Amino acid sequence: MKNIKLIGPFRQILTMANLPEGGPIKDDSLELIENGGVLIQGEHILKVGTYKDLYLDAVQQGASIEEVEEETVLLPGLIDCHTHMCFGGSRHRDYSLRVAGVTYQEILQQGGGIHDTVQKTREASQEALSVMLHQRANRHLQDGITTCEVKSGYGLSVDAELKMLRSIQEVNSKHTLDMVSTCLAAHVCPKEFDDKQAYLQHIVQELLPKIQKEGLSDRVDIFVEEEAFNVEISREYLRQAKAMGFQLTLHADQFSTGGSRLAAELGALSADHLEASGEEEVKILAKSGVMPVVLPGASLGLGMHFAPARKILDWGGPLAISTDWNPGSGPMGDLLVQASLLGVYEKLSMAETLAGITARPAQALGLQDRGILQANKLADMVAFPCGDVREICYHQGKMKPVKVWKRGNEIHG
Ligand code: NIG
Ligand code: FE
């Protein structure tokens, strides 16, 4: 056996190996290995255990030892399963209007908001988009995020959507961080169309087949909201996309309800946002097998309440937390800051918060090879400079990772 190495010792390793399917998670219920190590072969984990036990294994197998000198705790690499981080321009003007009291929907209805970013993204070349996306991915990787989803949705024409998805594919092929792309051509109806159904038909006929032919994405998203696409129109579009073989994810219940029920009805992978979800929606989602994804960064960006994360868990659901990194509602894009703040306001245990940014978003993306530190999973890992996992949320994102490994390799810089 070749290319084996032992990494450690870590003061604590939170593996996520024994997560329940859903429901509340007590801090002391998750597997925590004290003075642990990780034995790796190539890109994958061979074994996680105490450093002492693994050291003997490692020596017998002729493994190299990568010693971690500082006191650190280890988590699975963080995963951000909902972003719009491929975009041109900036929306600081919207933000200044919003803090003065104009709502997100009013700005959108007046032709600004998403439409403004569409114009800037259409004007940008694929190369320029890739440079910006690459820089944002660098920032994410330094923050310990080893996999992230990226949506299109600021092109809103066949050519401009393809340009975005090609840019995501190009950056994914070059960058260390793994990207999962999603077609969000159904973000809003572009100004060139006055009939929303006609626009979506155009997307189904002209764009989705090209995406499949080029292998650009196998996921489709839609913004379900009166100002974007209502439930009936969304249902029709999603059914067609599903029949073509796309997996579904929805922008659901951000300002009004309807989207999360539709996600459950259609067997979507995830229903994201959920700020407007009430008890009914939460109960439906908990039973549905759809991953509820909450986006505290959008609440912080819009100055509105958080999604009912506590209720989702209390009704038996799992919970994923992501950034929604985008120029409009979520410009911050800092997963750990946002998850920590959600945790303190929604009264989440640290185990619930940390599962929400590791194992749960992996499930939301349908990725079974990551999000957990155990044999045969990818060696995507992040170490924080402290001796107790509880310190990670305690510092509310201010404590940054000291080391990040992607597919077994330590990231430098
Ligand atoms: O998830 N709500 C819809 N879409 C994005 C925001 C996009 C934008 O404002 O540019 C969201 O919040
Ligand atoms: Fe979003």
Q: What is the pLDDT of residues 304-334, one digit of tens each?
A: 999 999 999 999 999 999 999 999 999 999 9
pLDDT in tens, 162-175: 999 999 999 999 99
223 lines ligand 1 (CB under 6 A): yes
401 lines ligand 1 (CB under 6 A): no
pLDDT band of residue 412 (cuts 50, 70, 90) is confident
121 lines ligand 1 (CB under 6 A): no
**Which of 108, 187, 256, 295 most suits a substitution to test ligand 1, by most atoms within 8 Å of the C-beta?**
187
**Which of 299, 326, 332 most suits a substitution to test ligand 1, by most atoms within 8 Å of the C-beta?**
326
> How far apart are alpha carbons 131 and 3 in whole angstroms?
33
323 lines ligand 1 (CB under 6 A): no
So what's the pLDDT on residue 225? 97
Listed by start position, the domains of the chain span 4-77+370-410, 79-364
| CATH code, 79-364 | 3.20.20.140
So what's the pLDDT on residue 1? 52
Lowest mean pLDDT among 53-62, 214-223, 283-292, 345-354: 53-62
User: Is residue 350 within 8 Å of residue 30, measured between CB atoms?
Assistant: no
So what's the pLDDT on residue 336? 98
Looking only at the bridges linking them, the beta strands covering 44-50 and 145-151 are: unpaired
User: Is residue 80 within 8 Å of residue 149, measured between CB atoms?
Assistant: yes
User: Is residue 390 within 8 Å of residue 75, measured between CB atoms?
Assistant: no
User: Is residue 254 within 8 Å of residue 275, measured between CB atoms?
Assistant: yes
Give the Å distance between the CA of 326 and the centre of ligand 1.
Answer: 7
Using alpha carbons, select from 75, 71, 78, 76 the residue that is nearest to residue 35: 71
CB-based contacts of 93: which residues, under 8 Å, 6+ apart?
Answer: 112, 116
Give the Å distance between the CA of 104 and the centre of ligand 1.
Answer: 9
CB-based contacts of 347: which residues, under 8 Å, 6+ apart?
Answer: 310
E runs forming strands in 167-262: 178-186, 219-223, 247-252
Q: What are phi and psi of 407, to 5 degrees?
A: 50, 45
- Averaged over 183-193, what is the pLDDT? 98
Nearest protein CA to atom 3 of ligand 1, as residue: 223
153 lines ligand 1 (CB under 6 A): no
pLDDT band of residue 69 (cuts 50, 70, 90) is confident
In this structure, is the dihedral angle defined by the CA atoms of residues 88, 90, 93 and 97, taken in order, positive or negative?
positive
Question: What percent of the chain has pLDDT above 70?
Answer: 100
Give the Å distance between the CA of 154 and the centre of ligand 1.
Answer: 10
User: Is residue 153 within 8 Å of residue 113, measured between CB atoms?
Assistant: no
In this structure, is the dihedral angle defined by the CA atoms of residues 310, 315, 320 and 322, taken in order, positive or negative?
negative
CB-based contacts of 120: which residues, under 8 Å, 6+ apart?
Answer: 87, 88, 89, 154
Residue matched to tokens 């077994």: 408
Residue 411 DSSP symbol: P
User: How many helical (H) and strand (E) elements, i.e. helices and strands, does the chain have?
Assistant: 17, 16
219 lines ligand 1 (CB under 6 A): no
**Which of 104, 114, 250 most suits a substitution to test ligand 1, by most atoms within 8 Å of the C-beta?**
114
Residue 291 pLDDT > 70: yes
Q: Which value does ipTM take for this structure?
A: 0.97
Q: Which ligand number lies closest to the CA of residue 107?
A: 1
114 lines ligand 1 (CB under 6 A): yes
Which SS3 state, helix, strand or coil, does residue 30 take? coil
pTM score over 0.90: yes
Residue 413 pLDDT > 70: no
So what's the pLDDT on residue 178? 98
Give the Å distance between the CA of 151 and the centre of ligand 2.
Answer: 8
Residue 224 DSSP symbol: B
Using alpha carbons, select from 237, 273, 239 the residue that is nearest to residue 257: 273
Residue 2 pLDDT > 80: no
Give the Å distance between the CA of 145 and the centre of ligand 1.
Answer: 21
251 lines ligand 1 (CB under 6 A): yes
Q: Which ligand number lies closest to the CA of residue 153?
A: 1
- Averaged over 66-70, what is the pLDDT? 93
> How far apart are alpha carbons 143 and 163 in whole angstroms?
27
Domain 4-77+370-410 -> CATH class: mainly beta
Nearest protein CA to atom 5 of ligand 1, as residue: 329
C-alpha dihedral, 232 to 215 to 247 to 309, nearest 10°: -100
Residue 344 pLDDT > 70: yes
pLDDT in tens, 126-147: 999 999 999 999 999 999 999 9
